[in-house]
Amino acid sequence: MTTPAATDTTKAKSLKDTLNLPQTQFSMRANAAQKEPECQQQWEKASVYAQAQARRAHSDKGFYTLHDGPPYLSAPTIHIGHALNKILKDFVTRYQYQRGFASPYVPGYDGHGLPIENAVVKSLKGGRHSVTPAELRKLCRDFGAKNEAGQRSQFERLGVWGNWEQPYRTTDAAFEAEQIRVFGQLYANGYVYRGLKPVYWCSHCETALADAEVEYDTHTSDSIYVAFKVLEPPVATSSVDQDLRNVLKTWDETSFVIWTTTPWTLPANLALCFNWEIDYGIYQTTAHGKLVLAVDLVKDFSEKTGIECSLLKTFRAKTLESAVINHPFLDRKSAFLFGDHVTTDAGTGVVHTAPGHGMDDYLVCLNHDHEHPNSKLGILSPLNNKGVFNDDCGVPELVGIHYSKANDVVIDILKQKNALLGHQKFEHSYPHCWRCHNPVIYRATDQWFVSMDNNALRKEAMTAIDTVQWIPERGKTRISTMVSNRTDWCISRQRVWGVPIPMLYDAATGDVVFDADVIAHIANLFEVHTSDIWWGWSTDQLLDGLPAEVKTRIGLPARTLVQEMDIMDVWFDSGITHTAVVNARKEELGGLPVALYLEGSDQHRGWFQSSLLTSVMHNGKAPYQRVLTHGFVLDGNGRKMSKSVGNVVDPNKIMSQYGADVLRLWVASVDYTNDVRISDTIISQMVEAYKKIRNTLRFLMSNLYDFDPAQHSVATDRLDLLDRYTLHRLAEVTSTLTEAFDTFAFHKYVPTLQNFCVVDLSQLYLDVTKDILYTYPANHPERRATQTVLFTLLKTLVPMLVPVLPHLAEDIWQHLPEHQRWSDATSGVLLDGPQAKPVLNVNDQEHFRELLELKESVNSLLEVCRKGGQIGSPSETSVWIQALHPEKVSEVEKRLMKKLLLVSDLVYSQNGPPAAVLASQNEELYVLPAAGTKCPRCWKHIDFDASTSDSHPCEAVVSKADLLAAVEVSA
């Protein structure tokens, strides 16, 4: 024998060349960091999104529009919450496209507002007043544009498709113009009013703040108890109890006790507030005369002030209603009021009431004024925009002093008047400005409001809420509660970076001058020049182009008009996108109401609500048919992410490391109806899932290299039970995922798809059919049948990938030869959704599961043999099944079972096994060493004496003699 090693290798190699081994150019690894951006460039170059819109331009199904909530342009980078939001949106638009709808997506950006203005002001060396408002606005615009560019590229990197070339911006001229048209109409219809009202006010930023712009933090305040002297006793009525009269004989020594943590608001005190239901007591003290306060709080009072109180008499506040009370240091009466907000949780049960500095105070006084029009209290708010006292405070020492420094002055005065009963420092949760983090105050100022109750807005909004599908359902409760409890919407801000409130005043009287034609005129100017001209042009310039009769109507030129310089709340900007975007781009977006708004759950009080209210006012209905909310992204331990803790997960980092598809797969694995988590562990799990899916698809493709569906497909009724079972499972997966996406249950995607790839394909179908694919003659019916199944799998799975893994779907599509493409789509992401029909009846399913159970039993036995070192692969064994009626097992079934088991032989017999047994179970299932000779080509053990090309397909490819020669050599 010559150089046996060399001969051996050659022979083996030549036999291997006769196999149909898988072939593909499709790489096993995604190399996503490099390939995804290339893929995205291709999409852009080929205008794939535009192609999608064109394909659905005349769809019978019409529109399924998801209207984008505009992210705020405060930063050039996106965070993981943005990624979750945009990816969920992309699932919807891509899926609905696949279902046949026109599902356009026009991304938006929210560019006005306080945070941007503050950021820009901060960057100015000379501060806010070193530039003109017009200049400041230019800087804000540039700042937003820069951030938009950054956000856009990162959003696109996520693989989100949409009209990125023509997004909408709340800062666009046409948007601004439409916004003041909406405002004008709302004003004309009586929804908008101007009024004095306490609002959260930041004296540092010199602006009113929305509730959403206030955050709570601990703050140490001066906590004081103050005596309010009773000037005149209550008018005696029958209800006044005789004992109490006796107690109250000397009125000049009696005071009501209040508690406050804002001493500086005392100059604005106009009333004291009591609760009907609380028991009050009158107490004798040694140094402070008689004091009146709630019985439940007297102990607390004594502990904090050291003032001993001995009870003289208890009563309800109604008894003293007509008492005349004096302000502790001003020559002014304080009214006696009742309010439900007065409690015995803290304080004294008597509440200092300054309607200019508190919401409850304001409401209770407003109510009083409504009921007593002849003795109105009005509102006193003696601070200017900077929080400095003016003359209205009535205290000369305070004029010119910032409120935060006024407490000491007020406390000194109280001491002088002997009205201070106690003083401590008090730490509590207190509202702060969300931008500058300074404490904020309530301050009554002139503001513009949307009234919740004019024209029954609140009621109409509640009705509209009922017409909407809220996902998850609890969202409905949440927004209903908010809408039914909210106060009037303050829409004015004392800032420059925003859309102006387009109103004019008579310079002499201060009266509002409104005319619809003026608004229309200004809107038209904005449409050309943007709202910048409100600051850049003079009032005369702005009004110059008005028709003569309109000028006359508004009193020009006889009187001088001045502009309102407040801007609108940014929530008003984004709140009217339904009109300024959806309606304005009706051809593209299909008009109102849109199918879906999809945002984080914080938007119940933000965009969902501002959109609802403005839409109800302007359009008479909700702007959306459905609202989907998702939770927040937390770290792996369920904690909020924060820079200081260092647990922030950056989506850009994930994408540069693993690709957008992995990030998207994460989104398709978590239950967004609650808060979701992300961590390295979680991401690496997604990396594994991605690999499995990719590799499974790669296996399908590589084994179809010589398959032409037009020529080689085998009819379903000629497929065996394993084939049909696999197709049946495919249909089940398809319908599960279709239903999941129809109901927005995206988190079913990963488990369903992964389970199918792992269990049904990798472990079962692909493993079992591998030998057939490789070793059978290329045109063998069973091989072509298997390839038919593989092709069906491919054809169904690729569309299934599209909404979640568009880059992978595209990668596959681009690797398919023309004859294997089932669609004329130039891009994989343009494919229609998957279609698959169940092919097995219940009996067949049941029967096949029995076969799988048998396979499991055999596997257990084989494992015993493997662990014992007796065998390696199943082909080294044959299985012997002892059955009562072996003749009832058909040849077809035997063949199928042998295929499933991957063993060299399978025997059904009434008798026990003749040969030495490797392992057995229940005296009916035996594993034996395989008989015959290991075929060097297919590695199964073959009885070459008895074999034919039918029982041993290798012999149809290579002659028995050559096979045996190879056996000799390798032996």
Partner RNA sequence: GGGCCAUUAGCUCAGUUGGCUAGAGCGCACCCCUGAUAAGGGUGAGGUCCGGUGUUCAAGUCACCGAUGGCCCA
Interaction between residue 669 and RNA (CB under 7 A): yes
Which one among 640, 819, 837, 849 touches RNA, defined by CB under 7 A? 640
Question: What gap in Å lies between CA 385 and CA 400, rounded to an integer?
Answer: 12
Among 222, 107, 216, 93, residue whose Cα is nearest residue 164: 107
Q: How far is the CB of 427 from RNA (least distance, A)?
A: 12
Beta carbon nearer to RNA, 101 or 666: 666
Interaction between residue 767 and RNA (CB under 7 A): yes
Question: What gap in Å lies between CA 413 and CA 804, rounded to an integer?
Answer: 69
User: Which stretch of DSSP H or E encloses residue 691?
Assistant: helix 680-702
Stretch 855-884: interaction string toward RNA, x if CB under 7 A: -x--xx-xx--xx-x--xx-----------
Q: Would you give the end-to-end CA distance of the chain in angstroms?
A: 13
Interaction between residue 657 and RNA (CB under 7 A): no
488 close to 451: Cβ distance less than 8 angstroms: yes
DSSP, collapsed to helix, strand or coil, labels residue 218 as strand
Interaction between residue 605 and RNA (CB under 7 A): yes
Which one among 936, 941, 947, 955 touches RNA, defined by CB under 7 A? 936
Beta carbon nearer to RNA, 283 or 746: 746
Residues 6+ apart with CB under 8 A from 394: 267, 330, 332, 382
Interaction between residue 216 and RNA (CB under 7 A): yes
Question: What gap in Å lies between CA 757 and CA 764, rounded to an integer?
Answer: 10
Interaction between residue 15 and RNA (CB under 7 A): yes
**H, E, C per residue of 353-405:** ECCCCCHHHHHHHHHHHHHCCCCCCCCCCCECCCCEECHHHCCHHHCCCEHHH
Which one among 506, 515, 671, 732 touches RNA, defined by CB under 7 A? 671
Positions in 501-530 near RNA (CB under 7 A):
none
Beta carbon nearer to RNA, 163 or 685: 685
Positions in 29-68 near RNA (CB under 7 A):
29
Beta carbon nearer to RNA, 33 or 46: 33
Interaction between residue 16 and RNA (CB under 7 A): yes
Positions in 939-958 near RNA (CB under 7 A):
939
Interaction between residue 675 and RNA (CB under 7 A): yes
DSSP, collapsed to helix, strand or coil, labels residue 352 as strand
Q: How far is the CB of 961 from RNA (least distance, A)?
A: 18
Q: What is the DSSP letter of 922?
A: T
Beta carbon nearer to RNA, 379 or 693: 693
Stretch 378-397: interaction string toward RNA, x if CB under 7 A: --------------------
HSE of 789, CA atoms in CB hemisphere, 13 A: 32
Beta carbon nearer to RNA, 395 or 670: 670
Positions in 410-429 near RNA (CB under 7 A):
429
Which one among 688, 706, 742, 924 touches RNA, defined by CB under 7 A? 688
Beta carbon nearer to RNA, 504 or 737: 737
Residues 6+ apart with CB under 8 A from 759: none
Interaction between residue 754 and RNA (CB under 7 A): yes
Positions in 713-732 near RNA (CB under 7 A):
none
Tell me the β-bridge partners of 266. Answer: none
Beta carbon nearer to RNA, 157 or 605: 605
Question: What gap in Å lies between CA 634 and CA 555, rounded to an integer?
Answer: 59
Question: What gap in Å lies between CA 678 and CA 663, rounded to an integer?
Answer: 10
Interaction between residue 692 and RNA (CB under 7 A): yes
Q: Which stretch binds RNA (CB under 7 A): 281-289, 667-675, 717-725, 823-831?
A: 667-675
Interaction between residue 479 and RNA (CB under 7 A): no
Beta carbon nearer to RNA, 34 or 860: 860
Question: What gap in Å lies between CA 751 and CA 747, rounded to an integer?
Answer: 8
> Amino acid identity, residue 194?
R
Q: Determine the Cα angle at 645 with ends 642 and 648, to 5°.
A: 45
Interaction between residue 921 and RNA (CB under 7 A): no
Interaction between residue 653 and RNA (CB under 7 A): no
Interaction between residue 771 and RNA (CB under 7 A): yes
Among 638, 576, 562, residue whose Cα is nearest residue 607: 576
Beta carbon nearer to RNA, 204 or 747: 747
CA dist 852 → 407, 443, 759, 855, 918 (Å): 82, 75, 12, 5, 21
Interaction between residue 659 and RNA (CB under 7 A): no
Tell me the β-bridge partners of 676. Answer: 633
Beta carbon nearer to RNA, 222 or 675: 675
Q: How far is the CB of 891 from RNA (least distance, A)?
A: 24
Question: What gap in Å lies between CA 423 and CA 627, rounded to an integer?
Answer: 51
Which one among 8, 253, 564, 602 touches RNA, defined by CB under 7 A? 602
Beta carbon nearer to RNA, 411 or 452: 452
Q: How far is the CB of 229 from RNA (least distance, A)?
A: 29
Q: How far is the CB of 718 from RNA (least distance, A)?
A: 24
Q: Which stretch binds RNA (CB under 7 A): 16-24, 138-146, 455-463, 890-898?
A: 16-24
> Amino acid identity, residue 298?
V
Which one among 482, 516, 883, 892 touches RNA, defined by CB under 7 A? 482
Which pair of tokens denotes residue 886? Answer: 């072996």
Which one among 25, 286, 681, 711 touches RNA, defined by CB under 7 A? 681
Interaction between residue 260 and RNA (CB under 7 A): no
Question: What gap in Å lies between CA 290 and CA 340, rounded to an integer?
Answer: 26
Question: What gap in Å lies between CA 273 and CA 326, rounded to an integer?
Answer: 14
Q: Which stretch binds RNA (CB under 7 A): 69-77, 89-97, 316-324, 630-638?
A: 630-638
Interaction between residue 937 and RNA (CB under 7 A): yes
Positions in 316-355 near RNA (CB under 7 A):
345
Q: Can you count the helices (H) and strands (E) in the chain? A: 33, 33
Which one among 639, 718, 849, 895 touches RNA, defined by CB under 7 A? 639
DSSP, collapsed to helix, strand or coil, labels residue 842 as helix
Tell me the β-bridge partners of 313. Answer: 282
Q: How far is the CB of 645 from RNA (least distance, A)?
A: 9
Task: Give the dihedral of Cα atoms 328, 333, 338, 342; nearest 10 deg.
Answer: -20
Beta carbon nearer to RNA, 244 or 359: 359
Q: How far is the CB of 634 from RNA (least distance, A)?
A: 6
Beta carbon nearer to RNA, 30 or 830: 30
Q: How far is the CB of 289 from RNA (least distance, A)?
A: 33
Sheet holding 504-506, edge to edge: 512-513, 504-506, 561-563
262 close to 221: Cβ distance less than 8 angstroms: yes
Among 508, 356, 331, residue whose Cα is nearest residue 447: 356
Residues 6+ apart with CB under 8 A from 243: 313
Q: Which stretch binds RNA (CB under 7 A): 538-546, 652-660, 763-771, 941-949?
A: 763-771
Residue with tokens 């303050």: 490
Q: Which stretch binds RNA (CB under 7 A): 141-149, 413-421, 531-539, 600-608?
A: 600-608
Tell me the β-bridge partners of 281. Answer: 293, 314
Which one among 9, 189, 763, 779 touches RNA, defined by CB under 7 A? 763
CA dist 201 → 75, 362, 381 (Å): 25, 15, 12
Which pair of tokens denotes residue 347? Answer: 């304080």
Beta carbon nearer to RNA, 644 or 681: 681
Q: How many residues bind RNA (CB under 7 A)?
A: 78
Q: How far is the CB of 355 from RNA (least distance, A)?
A: 15
Beta carbon nearer to RNA, 158 or 700: 700
Among 878, 906, 880, residue whose Cα is nearest residue 894: 906
